[in-house]
């Protein structure tokens, strides 16, 4: 399983917290008809993206990007000790797989200069914080945490109506610790990192592009969850807040990177997760690189 990639002057590491069965394909993707699934079952299974019971296989992982100047962690996964009653494998988790993954990639929590979240869903903010003496504190003590302001505002309003636990235990404590930067779409880090707005999955969902002057790599978050959505960009998962906008954003994104050298790194594609976008019929594939 490949966990390390090079792109331009970047080194990219995958830190996998969990990989396995998630939801039945036709439950997660309401537009996926039995006929369409039958047509695509063989290659999906060969790609490790679907199991024998037609359940989607997803990875839950962070990416760490090492630029010549910074070490940047993108999306902080699930986290430990967090009450997540709707998903048993996430609920009050105590395993050390994530921190071991960080260590075996050669990093300690002190090494991370920035933590950046593509959006503020439960599986993208978890390791933002860890439990210390009964309090949530930033896991990465030296990091600035970058949240998109529109995304933060959306969850602030949602949380005001009914408490959103991951926002309360994994985002607000970072703000209280004064480690958060709420940024607009003009945010950049030097000449190496830029924001690409990709709304739809959530209103303030963003991708992050890296590379000096050109996009050597793009971190797409939950713009798409499974390779079948590259081939059929209009297949929006039931989690997309605005499925129509998400579909439009997905096709636009794939068109933008199609037949370029940009390494596309979605959050949840099964291992090896990353690839380069190529055209196939009226859709696209994310071709793996060695
Ligand atoms: Zn996700």
| 58-70 pLDDT per residue, tens | 999 999 999 999 9
Query: Which pairs from 94-99 meet CB under 8 Å and 24+ separation?
Result: 97/16, 97/17, 97/18, 98/15, 98/17, 98/62, 98/127
In eight-state DSSP terms, residue 136 is E
CB atoms within 10 A of CB 99: 18
236-267: b (≥16 Cβ within 10 Å) or e: bbeebbbbebbbbbbbebbeebbeeebbbbbb
Q: 77: CA distance to ligand 1 center in Å?
A: 8
What are the tokens at 191?
């000449």
Alpha-carbon gap, residue 43 to 198, rounded angstroms: 27
Q: Where are the domains of the chain?
A: 4-223
Interacting residues of 52 by C-beta distance below 8 A, sequence separation 6+:
45
Q: 252: CA distance to ligand 1 center in Å?
A: 20
Alpha-carbon gap, residue 207 to 227, rounded angstroms: 17
Q: 209: CA distance to ligand 1 center in Å?
A: 18
Q: 225: CA distance to ligand 1 center in Å?
A: 7
Q: 125: CA distance to ligand 1 center in Å?
A: 10
| 99-147 pLDDT per residue, tens | 999 999 999 999 999 999 999 999 999 999 999 999 999 999 999 999 9
pLDDT band at 290 (very low <50, low <70, confident <90, very high): low
Contact 271, 260 (CB under 8 A): no
Alpha-carbon gap, residue 180 to 192, rounded angstroms: 20
Which value, in Å, is the radius of gyration of the alpha carbons in the chain? 18
State mean pLDDT over 53-58.
98
| 193-219 pLDDT per residue, tens | 999 999 999 999 999 999 998 999 999
Alpha-carbon gap, residue 172 to 164, rounded angstroms: 11
Contact 98, 59 (CB under 8 A): no
Q: 271: CA distance to ligand 1 center in Å?
A: 15
What are the tokens at 96?
């050390």
Kind plus residue range of the DSSP H or E element containing 166: helix 165-170
Q: 268: CA distance to ligand 1 center in Å?
A: 7
State mean pLDDT over 154-173.
98
What is the homologous superfamily of the domain 4-223 according to CATH? Ribonuclease Z/Hydroxyacylglutathione hydrolase-like (3.60.15.10)
Contact 257, 277 (CB under 8 A): yes
Q: Is the pLDDT of residue 2 over 90?
A: no
């Amino acid at each position: 399983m490949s966990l390390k990639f090079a792109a331009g002057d970047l080194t990219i590491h995958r830190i996998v917290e969990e990989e396995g069965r998630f939801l039945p394909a036709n439950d997660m993707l309401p537009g996926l008809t039995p006929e369409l699934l039958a047509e695509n079952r063989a290659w999906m299974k060969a790609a490790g993206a679907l199991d024998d019971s037609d359940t989607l296989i997803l990875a839950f992982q962070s990416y760490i990007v090492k630029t010549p100047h910074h070490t940047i962690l993108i999306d902080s996964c699930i986290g430990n000790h967090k009450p997540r009653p709707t998903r048993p494998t996430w609920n009050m988790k105590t395993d050390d797989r994530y921190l071991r993954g960080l260590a075996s990639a050669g990093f300690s929590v002190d090494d991370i200069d920035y933590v950046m979240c593509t959006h503020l869903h439960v599986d993208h903010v978890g390791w933002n914080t860890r439990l210390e003496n009964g309090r949530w504190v930033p896991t990465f003590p030296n990091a600035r945490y970058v949240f998109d302001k529109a995304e933060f505002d959306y969850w602030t309003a949602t949380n005001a109506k009914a408490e959103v636990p991951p926002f309360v235990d994994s985002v607000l404590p970072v703000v209280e610790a004064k480690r958060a930067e709420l940024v607009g779409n003009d945010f950049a880090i030097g000449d190496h990192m830029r924001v690409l707005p990709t709304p739809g999955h959530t209103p303030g969902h963003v991708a992050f592009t890296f590379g000096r002057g050109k996009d050597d790599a793009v971190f797409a978050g939950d713009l798409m969850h499974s390779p079948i959505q590259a081939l059929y960009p209009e297949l929006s998962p039931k989690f997309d807040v605005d499925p129509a906008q998400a579909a439009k954003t997905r096709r636009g994104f794939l068109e933008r990177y199609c037949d370029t050298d940009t390494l596309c790194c979605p959050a949840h594609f099964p291992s090896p997760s990353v690839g380069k976008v190529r055209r196939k019929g009226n859709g696209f594939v994310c071709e793996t690189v060695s």
